[in-house]
Structure 1
Amino acid sequence: MSRIVLGTLAAMLCLTTGAQAQTILSAETAAPNTTPGISIIALSEAAAKAGVADIQVTSGQTLTNSVQNVAEGKTDIAAAPFILPFLLSKGVGPYAGLGAEKGAELADELAVLYTYRISVQGLFAFDSSNISGWDGLEGKTIFNGPPRGAALTNARLLIKTNTGLEEGSGYTGVQVNWGQAVKTMQDGSADAFVLPMSFPDPRVSASLASGNMTIFSVSKEVYDSEAFNNVAKLPGTVKFSMPIEDMGYGDGITVVSEDGTFRGPGTVGADIVNKSMDFALAKSLTTAAIENIESIYHAKAPFMPVTWHGETAIEITDMCGPNPLKYHPGAVAAWEEAGYTLPDCAK
């Protein structure tokens, strides 16, 4: 009898200790070679390594839809540029069909595990296109993102801030899904590209097979202007600068700037969950991420060590202010137990 009891207790113990590891979660993210794509994939590996959950990742998604899916409880985790929850909370832009009341209701369902810089919006072109810079875009055809999403919204705004040009009247916009981005860059469909970039950026590097390219910094004058500062006040946008020598590019890439510094608007966001997620699960996911920032996140791609994973300062995370999202209580506990300080307005 004692053996039966001991065997039953052992079986129960195995079930108890393995229960969390058997949790199956769904996640949506952007293309797997982008910062949000890699971030979610890294989270899935960290969660599996820690025995927290099995995260089934669907990449190549339009994050506009992914954010709404998390808010509606259809997906457990998603990568989210902060401009999207803001637009959702107002029921405008890509969420205009929902209306302000429903949009605000859905946005209130979202919570943050951790933040990071998704990309820096920038202008680049093949040298053969004879694009001189921002002042050479009038009348040109510009690939500026997927048909729907934050990247397209940000690109149109950046072009207008730098040149005053509107899509349709000042230039022709080309939009394709991210999976077709490199092909579109290489096949001559556009004269120039205003897209999110990492440093070094895999789409830029892959396109070098079709010729040398030049990346154009935002000028110091525009960067310091009231118009650009207003752009940087948008949820999920921060001013970004980096020495050209630290951008990680080699032969075939020229970066044009007045003073050896690349400047542009940085897009920040987070890996998000529904606020109804269990406290312990959100805490365990966040702890797994924090403990593996260097070993998994930074090791995934050459650009990942400079994407601000593990940063919590407001000027980098862009939490608080017009950004409607706050950290999940479980994430707050994980960060604080790991020795980090989170601003009260973000809890």
Structure 2
Amino acid sequence: MRHTTRKVAGAIAAVSLSLCATAAGAETVRIETGTSAGLTTLIPQLLAKSLSNEGVDFRINADQTLTRSALSLGVGRIDAAIVPPPAFNAMSRGVGPYKDSADQAKATAAELRSLFPFAGGVFHPIVWADSGIETWEDMRGKRIFIGPPAGAANQQITTLIRLASGGFEPDKDYTPVRLGWGAAIPSFQDGQFDVLVMSSPAGGAAIEQIGLQRKIRLIGVPAEVLKTEEWAEQLEVTGETNAVIAPGTYSGQDNSDEEIAVPAYAMVFAVNRKMDDDLAYIITKTYWENIDEYKKSVAELAQLPTSEPLAGNNIPLHPGAVRYYEEEGMAIPDRLMANQ
């Protein structure tokens, strides 16, 4: 895929969550994102700044539970949302957090279309270095944060714990703690739970800040687990991949000399299928034309892959996005081509 770049001025901190000062007549896009400290919000923030030059105004509502945002998107209450692939999978089948309204969830899922996926980050299993927890077995009977209530991360994290520990189940072998992402780190620091499984880019500032208060330890997935068929099957279902947190990534990490094996997860920038084709095209094109500059401007984005632009995506593409990829000469998998 060809890439051109534009100048992205200033640091990411200067990007407002609501870019209101746009030109008269700008196209407004209401979008819901995940934690304000993660890539699910950072990517739309950067894209919003680029799109302001195209007459498009992003109104970003961060720190949302993305399984609910997917529903809001499907019924047209918002125009775009960051959707985890497992959430769309569950939504399409009416299971998991959607089991109580399965028929509605399936119908709503049919209204979603994608523009592009991106690497959302990696799961960080974190404990205090002086907690006595050094292995997954040591987590037996402990309180473990598993993500927001009804969030897609619940399934991903509980499955991670089950496979890495050799069979731990919530409410039996440990106490699951469900809170919004925004409350996760302060609650961990206050001692409300023993293990924090946090989603963040490797090297994320939020994780670094935890270790400045008190030494932390990261618990990786055992090598023998990574070789199992069940682990491989889980990665395929969730759109995850194997990743590592390199030695020396965090200054406050007690075992910083170790390479920590963890799963990396994808996120999808999704829109309602009724979005105007030209608008969907502009958003998609602007993202890819600026991706190299985004990666240069923010260190946490250096991990973003561009060699496989559709990797991790399981939501059919919007026609406007299809137009862009076809212009770039990309072969689009049949599974990502919508019927309408």
TM-score class normalised by the smaller sequence = 0.7 to 0.9
| Displacement after TM superposition at 1:104 (Å) | 1.8
User: How many angstroms does 1:275 deviate by?
Assistant: 1.2
Helix, strand or coil: the match of 1:292?
helix
Task: Indicate the SS of the match to 1:342.
Answer: coil
Determine which structure has more spread, i.e. the larger CA radius of gyration: 1
Partner of 1:36: 40
Question: Does the alignment pair 1:115 with 2:111?
Answer: no
Of 318, 323, 333, which residue of structure 1 is paired with 2:312? 318
Q: Given that residues 122 and 243 in structure 2 are in contact (C-alpha distance below 8 angstroms), is that contact kept between their aligned partners in structure 1? A: no
8 Å CA contact 1:46–1:288 kept in 2: the answer is yes
Structure 1 unmatched ranges of 5 or more: 1-17
Q: Cα 1:335–1:344, aligned 2, differ >3 Å: closer, same or farther?
A: same
8 Å CA contact 2:144–2:196 kept in 1: the answer is yes
Offset from partner CA, 1:250-306 (integer Å, 9 cap, x none): 42114579xx543222221211001111111100111111111122x3256421121
Over 3 Å counting, the alpha-carbon distance change for 1:345 and 1:152 in structure 2 is closer
TM-aligned CA deviation for residue 94 of structure 1:
1.1
Q: How does 1:276-315 map to 2 (within 5 A)?
A: 276-295=274-293, 297-299=294-296, 301-308=298-305, 310-312=306-308
How far the C-alpha of 1:75 sits from its partner, in A, is: 0.4
Aligned position for 1:124: 126
CA distance in 1, matches of 2:105, 2:269: 19
Contact 1:21 1:53 in 2 (8 A): no
2:32 and 2:142 map into 1 onto residues whose CA distance is 34
Partner residue of 1:10?
A: none
Letter in structure 2 aligned against 1:171: Y
Deviation of the 1:19 alpha carbon: 9.4
Q: 1:86: how far off? A: 1.0
- Structure 1 CA distance for aligned equivalents of residues 134 and 23 of structure 2: 59
Write the distance in 2 (CA, Å) between the matches of 1:102 and 1:154. 23
**2 CA distance for matches of 1:224 and 1:21?**
55
Question: How many residues are treated as equivalent by the alignment?
Answer: 315
**Given the alignment of the two structures, is residue 151 of structure 1 paired with residue 141 of structure 2, yes or no?**
no
One-letter code aligned to 2:43: S
Give distance in 2, aligned partners of 1:343 and 1:112.
13
| Residues 244, 255 of structure 1: 8 Å contact kept | no
Can you list the C-alpha shifts for 1:15-52, whole angstroms capped at 9, x where unaligned? xxx99961111111012220111112122112112x14
TM-score of the aligned structures, taking structure 1 as reference length: 0.84
Alpha-carbon distance in structure 2 between the residues aligned to 1:254 and 1:114:
37
Structure 1 equivalent of residue 199 of structure 2: 196
Q: Report the Cα offset of residue 154 of structure 1.
A: 1.1
- CA deviations 1:169-219 (Å, max 9, x no partner) are 101122221221221121111222222231112332121232111112211
Aligned partners of 1:86, 1:224: CA distance in 2, in Å? Answer: 25
Task: Verify: 1:57 aligned to 2:60, yes or no.
Answer: yes
The 8 Å contact of residues 120 and 267 in structure 2, kept in 1 or not, is answered as yes
Distance in 2 (alpha carbons) for counterparts of 1:197 and 1:136: 23
Match of 1:15 in 2: none
Q: Distance in 2 between matches of 1:250 and 1:256?
A: 7
Aligned identity (percent) is: 26
Of residues 213, 219, 225, the one that matches 1:222 is 225
Distance in 2 (alpha carbons) for counterparts of 1:300 and 1:173: 37
1:238 Cα offset (Å): 2.3
Give 2:267's match in structure 1, choosing from 269, 272, 278. Answer: 269
Which letter maps to 1:318? G
Q: TM-score, normalised by structure 2?
A: 0.86
Aligned residues: CA RMSD: 2.3
Q: For residue 73 of structure 1, report the CA deviation from its aligned partner.
A: 0.8
The letter for the 2-side match of 1:127 is A
Deviation for aligned residue 1:232? 1.0
Query: SS of the residue aligned with 2:150?
Result: coil
Give 1:262's aligned amino acid.
I
**Deviates further, 69-78 or 150-159:** 150-159
Q: Select the residue among 176, 179, 184 that pairs with 1:181.
A: 184
Q: 1:143–1:345: structure 2 CA closer, same or farther, 3 Å change rule?
A: closer
Retained in 2: the 8 A contact 1:312–1:340?
no
